[in-house]
Amino acid sequence: MNTLISAMALEYPADKLHVYLSDDGGSSVTFQAVKEAWKFLKWWIPFCRKYEVKTRCPVAYFSADESEDGNEKFSSSEFIAEKKKIEEKYDEFKCRILKIVENASSFTSRDHDPLIQVINDENCGVDSDKTEMPLLVYVSREKRPFHPHHFNAGALNVLLRVSGLISNSPYILVLDCDMYCNDPTSARQAMCFFLDPKISSKLGFVQFPQKFHNISENDIYDSQLRFFWPKLEGVDGLRGSMLVGTGFYIKREALYRTSNVQEDNDLVQLQKAFGPSYEFIKSLQENYKQNASKDEEFSGVSLKEIRFLASCGYDNSTKWGKEVGFRYFSVLEDYFTSFNLHCNGWISVYLDPARPCFLGSATTNLKEIIVQYTRWVAGLVEVAVSRFSTLIYGPLRMSTLQSMCFAESAYDFLIFLPVYCLAIVPQLCLLHGIHLYPKVSNPFFIVFSFLFLSSQLKHIQEVFSSGHSIRTWAIEQRIWMLRSLTCYMYGTLNGILEMIGLRAASFLPTDKAVNDEQSKLYQMGIYDFQASGLLLAPLCTLYILNLVVFVIGVTKIFHIQQASKMFIQLFIPLFGILINYPLFEGMFLRKDDGRVAPSITLLSAALCIIILPFGSLVLIY
C-alpha cells in the first residue's frame, strides 16, 4: 500500500491526478486494504502538503530523518506534534491491514468477474471533509482459467481502457507494486518535457531510472544494474531510451495512435481497432468529458460498460496488443512496446535527477536473480528471432544506430554460446596437451594479452567513473558469468520452446518478499545458494571442471615443461576459479543453510566426470 499512498500524495493538482490500482488476483485483502489506505490518506496528504514533505512514502518517511531536507518547518513544535499524531495514525493503519490479512484467505483467484470501484469517503465509512483528494479506483480485471490474459501487458491495457472511460488523463505513470514515489515532483519534471513545444508533438514517454532503497554496500548480486543505466544515457541521444517496465510517464496518444482519429472516422474501423465499446471510442475525441469524479459512483449504464472494458475477451479480434496499447507479442512487454513506439516515430527522454524520483526493492537472493533474468531473456529471444527482429524490422523504421542499440539488448543472450565454449574447450585441450593460443614468446601472445587486459581495464575504468571500487568490478564479472551460464541459456531455451509451441508462455513474478535470513546474508556480503539443482548445476559443474583441469594442468605442464606454450589455457580456468571463489566456498567450505546443497555438489561432480571422457572422445575423433 505504500506504493499507492506515495502516488496519491504526488505534488500535482488533486483534480488532475487519478490513481488506478490493478489487482490481477481479485483479492479481497487488497480491496479492503485500499479502503484502509484511503482513510489514512485523509490524514497523510494534508500533512505532506502543509509541511512540504519530500519523502511521501510513509514507511520510508518514518524510518528516515526528514530533517536533512533543510526545511525550517521541521523544527517547529507544531510539526513535531503533528508528525507524532500522523505516525500514530500510520501505526493504526498497519494494525488494521494486519487484521485484514489474518482474517482472510491467502487464496488468489484466477477465475473471477471484473470488479471496478471508485474509492471515496462514502464507501470507506469516513466523514467527508474539505481535503482535496485525487481520484482512486480499484480495478480487478476478469480472469478465466483457459483464457489468455497476456500477463503485464494485458493488465495495463485494461487500465488504459478503464481509465479512458473514467478520467481519460492524457499522461500516465506506470509504477510497479514494489516501488514508491521518492520525489513528489516527478510528474512536474516529466511535464517539463511533455509540454516543451520543440518536442511535445513527438515525445512518447519519459523514463526514469530504477533505483533501489535496499542495496547493500556490497551488492553481491549486482542488483543495482550499474552497467545498464549508462547505456540508457547514451541512447538518449538517439531519439531516446527504451521502457524498463516501471517508473515512466507515457502519453496516452502514443499508445492509442489517435493522432488521426477524427469525429468523422468510420465507426466500424474504429471498433476493429479499439473494440466494440462505443463509449470508449467516444473517449478518443479531444472534447470527451470524464465519466465520474472521486465523489461520484457510476451510473448503471457506465458501470456495465466499464466492466465490459475489463472483460477477458474484450480485445479479441481487435488491434489491442498489436497496434494499440501495450504489445502482447513478448512477455517483455516494456521492451517490445517501446521498440514499436520508436519504430512508429515517437521519441523518448531518459531523466535521471539528483534525487531519485522512484525507489524500489531490489532482488537480493540468487534464486530470484536467475528467475528474473531468465524471464527477461526469454522475452528478448521472442523478439530477436521473430519477424520483429531489431536487425531487420528496426532499420526500416528507425536510424541504424538506434536499431543497433535495441539489437544489443535483444541479442545479448547469444553470449552464452562462446562463454560455454571458453569454459570447456580450452580446458579439455589443456588436459590433452593441445595448445590453442600462442606461447609466451610468440608476438601474437601480446595481441591476446592486450585484448583481455584492455577489456578488463575498460570495465574497471567504467566502474571507477561511477564511484565504485575494484570489488564492484569483481562482482560484475562474477554475475555476468552466472547470467551467461544459467539465465541466458535457460531463457533462450524457454523463448524458443514457447515460439514453436512446445511450452506454454509463462510469467513468473519476482518474489520481493523479505526473508530475514536471506536479507542478513545479503547485508553481510555472503551468497545464498538456496536454489534448485537445475539452476545451480551448470555453474557448479563447470566450476568443478575448471578446478580439476587447473590442478591437473599445473602438474602436467611443469612436469613436461610446457608452461610457456600452455600459459593462456592455464590462465583461463584460474581466472574463473578466482572470480567465482564464493562458489567454491558454497560447495566445499560453508556449513550454513545458504551453502550449495551437498546433493547439487555431488550431481555436479558426476556431470563433470561425464564431460571429461566425453569431451576427450570428441577431441580425439
24 is an annotated ligand-binding site residue: yes
Listed residue (420, 374, 366) closest to 222, CA to CA: 366
Helices 533-560 and 567-579, interaxial angle, to 10°? 140
Residues 6+ apart with CB under 8 A from 504: 498
Catalytic residue of the set 23, 24, 183, 315: 24
Report strand pairing: 135-140 vs 171-174. unpaired
- Bridge-partner residues for 119, per DSSP? 136
Q: How far apart are the first and last CA of the chain?
A: 63
Helices 28-51 and 77-103, interaxial angle, to 10°? 180
Element at 251 (helix H, strand E): strand 248-251
- 20: three-class secondary structure by DSSP: strand
Catalytic residue of the set 176, 178, 334, 528: 334
Q: Is residue 196 among the annotated active site residues?
A: no
Number of Cα atoms under 13 Å in the Cβ half of residue 142: 17
How many residues are there in the chain?
621
Distances (CA, A) of 49 to 11, 508, 579: 8, 39, 50
Number of Cα atoms under 13 Å in the Cβ half of residue 103: 9
Report strand pairing: 179-181 vs 358-360. antiparallel
Q: What are phi and psi of 145, to 5 degrees?
A: -60, -35
Give CA–CA dist 371/503, Å, rounded.
Answer: 17
**In terms of C-beta density within 10 A (0-12 exposed, 13-18 middle, 19 or more buried), how is residue 119 classed?**
buried
Listed in order, strand segments (DSSP E) in 291-413 are 347-350, 358-360
**Cell 610468440 maps to which residue?**
442
Q: Is residue 352 among the annotated active site residues?
A: no
Distances (CA, A) of 132 to 38, 43, 76, 118, 244: 12, 11, 25, 15, 32
Q: What share of the chain is helix, strand, coil (3-state, %, to 5)?
A: 55, 5, 40
Spatial strand order of the sheet with 18-22 comes to 18-22, 135-140, 115-119
- Spell out the alpha helix ranges (H) of 432-502: 444-465, 470-482, 488-499
Q: How far is CA 239 from the centre of its chain?
A: 22
Residues 6+ apart with CB under 8 A from 566: 430, 433, 435, 439, 553, 557
Residues 6+ apart with CB under 8 A from 149: 24, 141, 143, 155, 312
Please count the other Cβ atoms lying within 10 Å of the Cβ belonging to residue 41.
25
Q: List the binding residues.
A: 24
Among all residues, which ones are annotated catalytic?
24, 334
Q: List the binding residues for UDP-alpha-D-glucose.
A: 24
